[in-house]
Structures are given as structure tokens and as C-alpha cells.
């Protein structure tokens, strides 16, 4: 039983994504609101918005006076950073947004919590980041946030790999500038061993997706970690498990940042 009914006073929260049917955020957020006796005062709804419709949708959100904020997921994180009126320092550094809040005057503020959520999820699961060598595949919004947070929390090295090499090199250079003490490369050596190998792409959401990195890299990894949340056990994680590697699903990343997201969206 929910804490309170939805009424005309309910403040609307959202999850903006495409697709949205697989998302766990609405269930997790509303369950947390219920635990905090805030459901009814707030309710989070899935909002399936295509890339073509995003600009018009964001403009409309400014006019919804009981809209309080939204979680932003694939593929909108980078574009949303250009559509909001204000970015936090984290949002500026990463160039992407995964949560927004609406001020009373319609002004939209955006930040990104993926990196802190990912590192927090690792730590909550008993894994350390300080002193580790990391492989990060991907250079989009979530991957960029993770790169900066890994560096912030003291990893010794990061290898950034991406299909579009220029994006990997751009992210690597930005991390070097922000954290000059971290060794950042863009080449996966055939002999490299990684303490943590991370899929920061959307590969794995569909069963037919190729692996984000090869089985030979999996074999040279102590821990293989996902950002994909659904399905929880991706083909990459199954491959890593079969090779005897420790695995880390994408779910702790979302769970670790849920409190932060709700707070940013105005729930207190």
C-alpha cells in the first residue's frame, strides 16, 4: 500500500529515455519514496521520448508547474546538457546530464551522477577503486562521468576505448587535464591486465549485441563491470563468469545514486 494517494498536489518526477520499457528507475524511485513516506507528495513516471521530440518536450516541461525534475537516460544525456539553462560543475566537466530539476520559474538545472553512482556501487559491493588499473569502453555521457569519478577516487590508470577513436582521445585528454596524476591512455595492449574492466556503452541491452570488448580482454581482467541495467546479466557478464572472473552488474550503480537523484529533483 502506497503512503498517500496521488492528488492535484502531487509533484511529478520523470524518467526520460528511449526506450523506457526496460527501465528499473520508476519502480526503484517510487519504492524509495514510499519508504520515506513521500509517495503521493511525489511520483515518478516513465516518459518515452524520442530524440526527434526531445527539444519540444523539454520546452513543454518548463510550463508544467507541478513538474519537479527527471532522471535522464539513453540516448538523451549529452543533448540534455545543451537544453538545460544551467549545469553544475560536474555537468560542465562531463558535458552530459542524467538528472534535471525545474525551478519555480521554469529554469532547468542539470547535473550528472552516473560516475559517483558507479563508484559508489563498486564500494558498496566491496570493491576498491584507489590504486586500480581500469579499462573503460565508451565515451558517452555515462562513460565520461565514470572516467572522471574513477580518477577522482584514486585509480592509478584508465584506458579509454571507443569505436570512434577521436571521442576516446577527447575524453582521455579532458581526464588528464583534470587529474594529471592519473595515467590515461587510449590503446589496449595485448598484454595489459586490468583490475576493473567496465562496459560504459549500451551494448548488452539486446541479446544480439556484440561484446563491448573481446574475450581475451575479459581473461585479463580481475573484475568485469557493467553499466547496462536490464538485462542484469548481460552476455559480457556471462562470458566473464564463464572465464572465472568476478562480475559486477549495473544495478548497484543505479541503486547508489537513487537517493542523490531524488534529492537533486527536490524531494529534500
Residue 34 CA to residue 59 CA, distance in Å, equals 30
Task: Determine the number of helices (DSSP H) and then strands (DSSP E) in the chain.
Answer: 10, 12
Quote the cell numbers at residue 182.
592519473
- Helices 251-262 and 114-124, axial angle in degrees (round to 10): 120
* Cβ proximity of 48 and 18 under 8 Å: yes
Q: Which residues are catalytic?
A: 77
Of the candidates 184, 226, 183, 185, the one whose C-alpha atom is nearest the C-alpha of residue 203 is 226
Residue 268 CA to residue 266 CA, distance in Å, equals 5
* Cβ proximity of 253 and 227 under 8 Å: yes
Residue 10 CA to residue 97 CA, distance in Å, equals 25
Residue 81 CA to residue 199 CA, distance in Å, equals 22
Distance set, CA 208 to CA 204, 232, 242 (Å): 8, 15, 18
Amino acid at each position: 500500500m502506497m503512503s498517500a494517494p496521488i492528488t492535484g498536489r502531487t509533484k511529478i518526477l520523470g524518467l526520460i529515455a528511449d526506450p523506457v520499457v526496460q527501465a528499473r528507475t520508476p519502480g526503484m524511485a517510487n519504492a524509495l519514496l514510499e519508504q520515506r513516506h513521500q509517495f503521493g507528495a511525489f511520483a515518478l513516471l516513465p516518459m518515452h521520448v524520442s530524440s526527434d521530440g526531445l527539444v519540444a518536450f523539454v520546452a513543454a516541461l518548463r510550463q508544467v508547474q507541478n513538474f519537479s525534475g527527471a532522471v535522464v537516460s539513453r540516448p538523451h544525456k549529452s543533448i540534455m546538457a545543451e537544453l538545460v539553462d544551467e549545469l553544475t560543475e560536474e555537468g560542465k566537466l562531463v558535458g552530459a546530464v542524467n538528472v534535471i530539476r525545474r525551478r519555480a520559474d521554469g529554469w532547468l538545472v542539470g547535473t550528472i551522477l552516473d560516475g559517483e553512482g558507479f563508484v559508489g556501487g563498486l564500494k558498496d559491493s566491496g570493491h576498491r577503486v584507489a590504486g586500480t588499473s581500469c579499462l573503460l569502453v565508451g565515451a558517452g555521457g555515462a562513460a565520461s562521468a565514470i572516467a572522471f569519478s574513477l580518477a577522482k577516487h584514486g585509480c592509478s590508470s584508465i584506458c579509454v576505448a571507443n569505436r570512434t577513436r577521436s571521442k576516446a582521445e577527447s575524453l582521455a585528454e579532458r581526464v588528464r587535464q583534470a587529474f594529471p596524476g592519473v595515467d590515461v591512455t587510449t590503446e589496449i595492449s595485448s598484454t595489459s591486465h586490468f583490475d576493473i574492466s567496465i562496459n560504459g556503452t549500451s551494448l548488452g541491452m539486446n541479446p544480439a549485441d556484440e561484446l563491448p570488448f573481446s574475450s581475451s580482454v575479459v581473461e585479463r581482467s580481475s573484475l568485469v563491470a557493467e553499466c547496462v541495467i536490464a538485462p542484469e546479466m548481460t552476455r559480457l557478464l556471462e562470458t566473464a563468469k564463464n572465464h572465472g572472473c568476478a562480475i559486477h552488474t549495473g544495478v548497484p550503480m543505479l541503486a547508489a545514486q537513487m537517493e542523490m537523484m531524488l534529492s537533486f529533483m527536490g524531494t529534500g
